[in-house]
Amino acid sequence: GKGGVHGTDSLNWVKTAMAMECSHLKEGVQIVGIFKNATRVVIKGANLGVPQVAAIARKPKVQVEPDAVNAKGRVDESDIYGVTTRFCASLQRCMQHGVELQREFIRFLNARVVGKGYFGNRWKILQAKEKLLSAHLISKLPLRGTINASDNLVLLLYISSLLTGRPNCIAVTEDGREVSLLEALCIAGVEKPFELAPKEGLVLVNGTAVGSALASTVCYNANIMMLLVEVLFVLFYEVMHGKSKSTDSLTHKLKHYPGQMEAICNATHAIEREINSVNNNPIIDAGRGFVLHGGNFQGTRIGVSIDNMRIALSAITKLIPDYGMKGTKIAMAFYLSKMNYLAIPDMNSLGLVSTRKTKEAMEILKLMSDTFLVTLCQAIDLRYMEETMQTTVKQVVAQAVRKTHFMESNESFSPLQLCEEDLLMVGAYDTKGTSLVSNKIQDFLTYLLYKLVRREVETQVLYGLKTVSLG
């Protein structure tokens, strides 16, 4: 029926098109709102988004709940592949001891909480995962050791060790404290480690869960940074007295291209499709009674999406002016060169490596945005000083001219003393960095950013006589 696996939009073209209807600004605001309001995430296999994954990873009070109504029946029925057979190339070799096979297999080779029920594992396993996630207990994973070319076998092994009772397993609590396996299970409310039933070993270690999760958190950060960059360009436009013609919609309508920043939208939707998909191989359809060997564990989709995201980030940084204050120009030139270096994609498009590179690129973009924002605030103050000086001098000259017509020549400049106070106010702002006259930036929409830099961060106007550098 509609909305199901075999519905009228089985390839999700309609959903994909609808997702791209709004601008990145609107979607970015929606993502932030979902993240802030997330308190409980029900995993149904189709509703999981980047902000929900980020909320589960970063907000300590977010609870996770599998979709018991729709998935439990399929979970209980889908127990076939990997029971008395080996995996992949060893499929045809029969094994007589299914439980022993699962235990041995898991030593060398986890999947995320599965909401669709096409994997073939017990519901208790999913409930245990849900308890660990809700308690914010995770396995300590190595930074290196897996490539995510097809799936995350090595890293999923470490995660599955929490469930299977590996003695060398180390868990990390939400406050960063390392605890033992049994202590972690006790905190989560899981009675004891599981003795794996048939096929469950394969379920726990087959999929793209680690790469998808890490990509989701990085993608969330990228959307936030793009919102900041968009606002910074608005601030730049206001400071430089930009012309309205440069933003006329006709230019973009004739190009038929949604814009460079929309590449972040594309990556976001690609990752969301991945985290809602069934990653196992094979896929077990208990309702129709057969097994599909489709290779859904292929992780290239994540790598390609993250590569494209990083390239888009690099292209956007080129739009940020690398000129401004003397010292920061050198730093900005380095940041831009580093971003260009990180933008080079790997020919194999390895998901985890690409995600880590994108995370580093995000840190560089943060530094560029910080520098750009401080420079813009300096430009705002210089513009304010210039306009204030022009207004004051104009008033002084006007008063002097008026007095010259009615007084003796030796008294024509005496009224200048009346404007001495105004001139001193401008001079005080120039030398001390303190404002005695209201700043026009208060009337603009971007005043909140200026207020952040000048009042909350307490960064004053920079001038050459200062002996302490910024930062």
Active-site residues: which are they?
81
Strand partners, 291: 284
Q: How far, in Å, CA of 158 to CA of 142, rounded?
A: 9
Q: How far, in Å, CA of 380 to CA of 63, rounded?
A: 45
Q: What are phi and psi of 284, to 5 degrees?
A: -105, 115
Compute CA distances 403 → 9, 394, 423, whole Å: 82, 14, 19
CA dihedral 347, 349, 350, 355 (to 10 degrees): 120
Compute CA distances 142 → 53, 99, 139, 158, 210, whole Å: 21, 28, 10, 9, 12
3-state class (DSSP) for residue 183? helix
Strand partners, 63: 40
Backbone CA torsion sign across 210, 211, 216, 219: positive
Q: How far, in Å, CA of 230 to CA of 260, rounded?
A: 12
- Burial bucket for residue 4 (CB in 10 Å: 0-12, 13-18, 19+): exposed
Compute CA distances 140 → 63, 108, 174, whole Å: 21, 17, 12
Q: Is there a contact between 389 and 422 (Cβ–Cβ < 8 Å)?
A: no
